[in-house]
Amino acid sequence: MDAPRKRNSPTPGQIALAEQLARGETYMSDDVVTLSVDRYVDEARHDAEKQLLDGMATPLVPSALLAEPGSALAHDDSGRALLITRDTAGKVRIFANACAHRGTRLLDAGDVVEGRKIACPYHAWVYNLEGALVGFPRRDAFPGLCKKDNGLVEYGAAEHGGLIWFSPDPQADFSVAEQLADDFDAIGLGEMRFYERSTHRIAANWKLVIDAFLESYHVKRLHQGSIGDFFADGMATADCIGRHQRFAVGRAEYDRKIDAADWQQLRETVTLTYHIFPNGVLVLSPDYCNVMVVHPGKDTRSCRAENFMLVPGDVDPSLFADKWERSWQLLDQGTFGGEDFRAAALCQQGIDTGVRKEMIIGRLEAGITLFHDQLDELLQARS
């Protein structure tokens, strides 16, 4: 049994990519190119990339993870100790997970907690979900202390298209998040239900993980033990939305005559994949969705990939629990964890031998070249 798909129409851009696939078109570059492997091993560049990401809005978690007003979550995978809240009015906010009193961690990493207030576990200083200090015991011990001046440190946050975006800068430009909102609203991302999440610690540069989702050349080979049989070999079309890349990957029956404006038919024959620049990935399957955020590690040879699975929000979960659990295990532990992430780590190991100074990027891997060109351009602009 398949879960019902969203009934509104795909965007014109989504339809156009599906129609290109049906015509047998494939996204290919004109030439074979090479990339220096230095970009995966140079620590100075890695530090510059982390500073670059700190200066821009990046995806953090799906909205569905924190769906209800009056909820909060500790989040550490970005490398910062964050406290994400959805206040009682439904607004998402992101704070440093540190009490104003002694810097104590307010919430420990784990599941979402419900409630209108957060109390420090050490001395019971209390904050509301808007980050304001609303009370503390023994006020006589802190003469002249103003609650208004001792709220939580707030970062930049925005919510568009079913994703929560983050920046350390409270004044950051979040217009890049709005660029994908129409596509993600058409998918119904913001209406989906959170199913499961996991964090993978990968011994590879963060870009090697992103690279894996920017080409379909590997699918029939690397994924022959999991999902390879579901897809045609190297059949994909692509375009850009700002710096974000949008791909339509042909499933085994991609050339079947379909009405591309019908979500159910489109999702049966086409897998839409998005590179959410710079460090996010969305993969739309027939009746669920995976969102991944890849966070650079402390050094150039490590990263964390947080994988979220979202399912339709308007169906009885008990009817699809077994199917979704099988899908989660297949993708998170098999396709992503056991194949894509493992391949990134193996690639890092090969690069680290120093035998090869360049890697070859074929015509079916044009998305990789574009991604690295964009990063190079932004890094050069900051230097």
Q: Which residues pair with 238 in a beta bridge?
A: 247
Residues contacting residue 380 through CB under 8 Å, at least 6 positions apart: none
DSSP string across 294-316:
EEE-SSTT-EEEEEEEEE-TTS-
Residue 258, both tokens:
């379909």
Residues contacting residue 22 through CB under 8 Å, at least 6 positions apart: 254, 255, 257, 258, 260
Dihedral angle computed from the Cα positions of residues 247, 252, 254 and 257, in that order, rounded to the nearest 10 degrees:
-160
331, 326, 336: which is closest to 305 by C-alpha? 336
The CA-atom distances, in angstroms, between 206 and each of 120, 191, 219, 258 are 34, 29, 20, 37
The alpha-helical segments, DSSP class H, found in 212-300 are 219-222, 263-269
Rg of the chain, C-alpha, whole Å: 22
**DSSP tag of 333:** I
Q: What angle do CA 164, 167, 171 make, to 5 degrees?
A: 110
Digitized pLDDT (tens) for each residue of the chain, 383 residues in all: 455 445 578 999 999 999 999 888 999 999 999 999 999 999 999 999 999 999 999 999 999 999 999 999 999 999 999 999 999 999 999 999 999 999 999 998 778 999 999 999 999 999 999 999 999 999 999 999 999 999 999 999 999 999 999 999 888 899 999 999 999 999 999 999 999 999 999 999 999 999 999 999 999 999 999 998 988 888 899 999 999 999 999 987 777 788 889 998 899 899 999 999 999 999 999 989 999 999 999 999 999 999 999 999 988 888 899 999 999 999 999 999 999 999 999 999 999 999 999 999 999 999 999 999 999 999 999 87
Q: Which residue has the tokens 């406290």?
A: 83
Half-sphere exposure at residue 236, Cβ-oriented, CA atoms within 13 angstroms? 29
Residues contacting residue 67 through CB under 8 Å, at least 6 positions apart: 86, 193, 194
Write down the pTM of the prediction: 0.95
